A and B are shown apart, each in its own frame.
Chain A
Amino acid sequence: MATEFTIPLHHFDTNLLPADARQVGTDAFKTAVMMHFAAEYAAQGQTAMVTVDDQEITVMAFPAEASALDFVMPMLKAGKIAEAVPYLESLTKSAPANAEVLYNLGIAYSELGQYDEAIIRLKRAVQLDPGHAHAWVGIGTAYHRMRKPEQALAAFEKAVEANPDDGYTRRNLGGLLIGFKRIDEAVTHLRRALDLMPDDPQAIFGLATALEQLSTRGADEEADGLYLRFIEEHPNSPMAEQAEKARTAFAHKRLRSSAVGGFRPDVMMYISSALQTFKQLGPQQCRTIALEIAMLGRNGLDINDPTDKYTLKALPGSFSGLHLLAIMYTAFRQIDPTMNTGTDFGAEYQAALEMQNT
């Protein structure tokens, strides 16, 4: 069982320390206090972690057979990173060659935004254990956060070299390679990451993103499926909205590519009908209809299904997804011709206008 206690600095018996380390608050004092408790508990077969600040000394002691990290990891997992750092620092003094302690300390510094401190510890960790793939990832992440992509890439490559069968290392390298526009390599690493971590949301999203950039029909279809999976499995993720947008873009792309010469006569007819409706109803009603469709379409309109499965409060009848999209496009063009609706029905709109004027 661990013992944890705190002693106010003014209560500590400085006579227990070497004469040259009795000046309270000095580095020599802090080190001597740590060494004092380390020695006292070591003599009882225990390990001590000690922190000394301006007001008090905190000691955590536990049986030596237990891993020191067992007592720090709960703090890190609970997000108490700043509180854990002094204990990890204390451990690096009593066990300076422990790569796992250095790794956790480095990651903690990185999470606190102290990247230089993080890199120093993590590089020491990989010196001690060159096969520590996650420490290499930690180095890469710190460099990435420092906006040093070249160094980050080198570290991520080292991570994969250290452990090619670790999904986490593959995922990080693949993600960074997207930024370097090395898409084929990114896809390879992210695909492997997903093999190794089949349910990892970031691997799913990362592979979809990389595939999207390949811009081939097959890659688009695979990416669309991955985005759909991401949305279904992680509907509350902030990235779900990005996935929705990407899926909408795919739908538009498919819509356009399925038409002869890229022109959709059905859309032109929907627009022509909408122009007539808006002319009768006036601009206020036009805005109401556009807004209702926009609200309805927040989660995406199914524009590849021809069924008239949608209804509106502001406009009688039932509509297909494509029909609604055409009405909304028309409304926005009427309200503000410069507005970007995310859909290009310009040719169909122009043709509808010309048809109205003839």
Chain B
Amino acid sequence: MKNLRPETLGMLQRIEALSGRPVEFKPDGALTLRATLQLTRNGAASHVLRYRPTNEPLDYWVAYQAGYLLRLLELPPAERFDFAGTGTAPGQVEELLATGQPQADGARSTLTQFAEMTAHWAMLNLRSYAIGMRIDQWLADEHPELRVLQTAGMDSLQQENVQLLSKRMGKMSIPVPLLGPVAAYALFVDRLLGETAYAIPYRAAGVLDLGAELLAILDKVPPGAAHDQALVDAWAAAIGMTGWYAWIPYKP
């Protein structure tokens, strides 16, 4: 990864120093996400950074991923936890789909499939955006040299997120409360960049109040990594996702 900026490479070196394991780079043109950084588990020799080689701004995506690992590694080992589903989420989403939707689709299998997909996506977002905003704030505060790339990356994510408002399977669409984290992120980015309009679609979709509530929780909970669990739990309570997941001790 000779193309990464020195400051981004510095973050990865810090991960290596804190964990005692190297970061292995794996270009992956088929990757659906922008980049992933998998922390070593079960005695694996290295952390694995997968990235799409043509995905710009790559430094931002790598720095963002590095942020997650650094937050975890900054904690004492006993306080490091993984986030895992309890298996109840799809059923909860099915209930949400049964209310507030214009018509349920006839096929049971379609409902189940959409509920599973939505549950997986909602849990991913719950953790990603709550802690992700901490990381974005850290990048903005500590790494102004990445600001232009960060702005481009956040804009790119906003363009993707706003498409979720119309994501459907048959007549089913994502239940409004589950859009709370992306609405909160839109408000957060508006605030970070100033004079932008990312929140407008979410206001129209009736989810901005929840987004504002989540942002208020973010502001209220102390920003240190030690409070990340509390932050995610508070968001889950506000959205109605309590019990959908559990915190499991991290095993290197």
Query: Using a CB–CB distance below 8 Å, which chain A residues touch chain B?
Result: 1, 3, 5-8, 10-13, 15-16, 36-37, 40-41, 44-46, 56-57, 59, 61
Contact A7 B203 (CB under 8 A): no
CA A5 – CA B166 in complex, angstroms? Answer: 8
The minimal Cβ–Cβ distance linking B212 to chain A, given in whole angstroms, is: 14
Residues from chain B with a CB closer than 8 A to the CB of A36 are: 204
Known: A11-B173, A37-B200, A45-B195. A5 touches B206 (CB 8 A): no
Chain B residue at smallest Cβ distance from A33: B204
Nearest first, the 9 closest Cβ-Cβ pairs linking A and B are A13-B206, A6-B166, A44-B197, A5-B162, A40-B200, A11-B205, A10-B102, A5-B201, A7-B165
What 0/1 readout, one digit per residue, does chain B (145-189) give for beta carbons within 8 Å of chain A? 000000000010011001101101000010010000000000000
CA A11 – CA B165 in complex, angstroms? Answer: 8
Contact of B159 among A3, A12, A13, A40 (CB under 8 A): A3
5 residue pairs bridging A and B, Cβ less than 8 Å apart: A5-B163, A7-B166, A40-B204, A46-B197, A61-B197
Contact B200 A41 (CB under 8 A): yes
Residues facing A in B70-117 (CB within 8 A) are: 101-102
CA A59 – CA B168 in complex, angstroms? Answer: 17
Contacts between chains A and B (CB distance < 8 A), count: 62
Contact of B162 among A3, A10, A57 (CB under 8 A): A3
Chain B residue at smallest Cβ distance from A44: B197
Contact B204 A7 (CB under 8 A): yes
Chain B residue at smallest Cβ distance from A2: B159
Residues from chain B with a CB closer than 8 A to the CB of A37 are: 200, 204
Contact of A13 among B158, B162, B197, B203 (CB under 8 A): B203
Interface presence of B196 (CB below 8 A): yes
Known: A36-B204, A40-B203, A61-B197. A8 touches B168 (CB 8 A): yes
Of residues A8, A15, A41, which shows the largest number of chain B Cβ atoms within 10 Å of its Cβ?
A8
Contact A11 B197 (CB under 8 A): no
CA A8 – CA B179 in complex, angstroms? Answer: 14
Contact A41 B197 (CB under 8 A): yes
CA A45 – CA B204 in complex, angstroms? Answer: 18
Contact A6 B165 (CB under 8 A): yes
Chain B residue at smallest Cβ distance from A1: B155
What 0/1 readout, one digit per residue, does chain B (189-217) give for beta carbons within 8 Å of chain A? 00000011100110111100000000000
Chain A residue at smallest Cβ distance from B190: A44
CA A36 – CA B200 in complex, angstroms? Answer: 10
CA A11 – CA B177 in complex, angstroms? Answer: 11
The minimal Cβ–Cβ distance linking B171 to chain A, given in whole angstroms, is: 9
Contact B162 A12 (CB under 8 A): no
Residues from chain B with a CB closer than 8 A to the CB of A3 are: 158-159, 162, 197, 201
The minimal Cβ–Cβ distance linking B186 to chain A, given in whole angstroms, is: 11
The minimal Cβ–Cβ distance linking A22 to chain B, given in whole angstroms, is: 13
CA A102 – CA B206 in complex, angstroms? Answer: 34
Residues from chain B with a CB closer than 8 A to the CB of A46 are: 197
Residues from chain A with a CB closer than 8 A to the CB of B158 are: 3
The minimal Cβ–Cβ distance linking A43 to chain B, given in whole angstroms, is: 8
